[in-house]
Amino acid sequence: MKQITITLFFMVAVYCTIAQPVKLHGQLKVEGTQLVDKDNKPVVLNGMSFGWSCFHPRFYTASAVRWLYRDWKCSVVRAALGVEPDKGYLKDSAVSKNLIKTVVDQAIIEGIYVIIDWHSHNINLKEAKEFFKEMATLYGKHPNIIYELFNEPDYETWPEVKSYATEIISAIRAIDSNNIILVGSPHWDQDINLPAEDPINGYKNLMYTVHFYAGTHKQILRDRTDAAIAKGLPVFISESAGMQATGNGPINYEEWNKWIKWMEVKKISWITWSVSDKDETCSVLNNSASDYGGWKTDDLKESGIKTREILRSKAKNK
């Protein structure tokens, strides 16, 4: 009996080690247009974004991160730092940073990747540089970390976004020379053609973000992204979902499935929005959902049920 117990213990230990994405893939990097792992094998990360930290702080818990990994099978989560709104970073940086750090710390414990997302629609260069320098100092030694510099530029031009991003990249790279950095594109991450024509040079391990909501964004955006990739631009889908771009309206399953299949063929990583209980289609949780995970089917909205199903299916097939 003792020998059986010891054998079972080691089988569980080995399984847990293999199952953890960061233990499996290690330090990520970009080769050409592809995200690859420590063995230069293509990597596709799939996961969930938390909602704005300033609006949905109750879900920024270690237990919620644990549940998203162990039950939803996320290989990556995204901590969305609300910047300008009340209770956001500009109004209360200490509270905001603690929320982000709670998610990042637990992601490291769970052995999954985590995106530190400056969730803003405006350029705040001084504050962003200060924040990312601090994050790089705290976490840059961990291969789990991905930096997202600018959630969704809205009316900024690409030269403005490029100038901003280059300064932040320089600040991060002075501390952390390896971890992946995600750069936004104008028009709510739709105009990926602009950085494709004029990419940031002189730095490695950069990727550029596209966001889609399948009820609004269809073949035109996929074609535009295909053209950007053909020009050599590495792409990461750091926010997506199945309904209208407003976050509301019915889920367009036909288009959402087209996006899922397209990303699978292209080996593009993606994140779904969002872990929150706002009264909207894209928030995956009902008000009944606990702050700490353990969510039952009744706690999930339609988008949550579908996204969990997709994530678990992707993990099973890897």
CA distances from 74 to 11, 47, 148, 299, 307 (A): 22, 4, 18, 18, 10
Helix (H) or strand (E) holding 290: none
The residue to which tokens 């990727």 are assigned: 207
Q: How far apart are alpha carbons 152 and 283 in whole angstroms?
A: 18
Q: Is 239 a catalytic residue?
A: yes
Q: How far apart are alpha carbons 3 and 264 in whole angstroms?
A: 43
Is residue 109 a contact partner of residue 98, using CB atoms and an 8 Å limit? Answer: no
Q: How far apart are alpha carbons 243 and 250 in whole angstroms?
A: 6
Q: How far apart are alpha carbons 64 and 106 in whole angstroms?
A: 9
CA distances from 314 to 7, 17, 72, 80, 130 (A): 29, 19, 10, 23, 37
Cα four-point dihedral sign 108, 114, 120, 122: positive
Phi, psi at residue 229, to the nearest 5°?
-65, -40
Query: Annotated catalytic residue: which of 110, 148, 156, 239?
Result: 239
Q: How far apart are alpha carbons 118 and 181 in whole angstroms?
A: 12
Q: Is 152 a catalytic residue?
A: yes
- Per-residue burial over 254-267, b = 16 or more CB atoms within 10 Å of its CB, e = otherwise: ebbeebbebbeebe
Is residue 97 a contact partner of residue 89, using CB atoms and an 8 Å limit? Answer: yes
Query: Annotated catalytic residue: which of 148, 152, 156, 255?
Result: 152
Residues with a known catalytic role: 152, 239
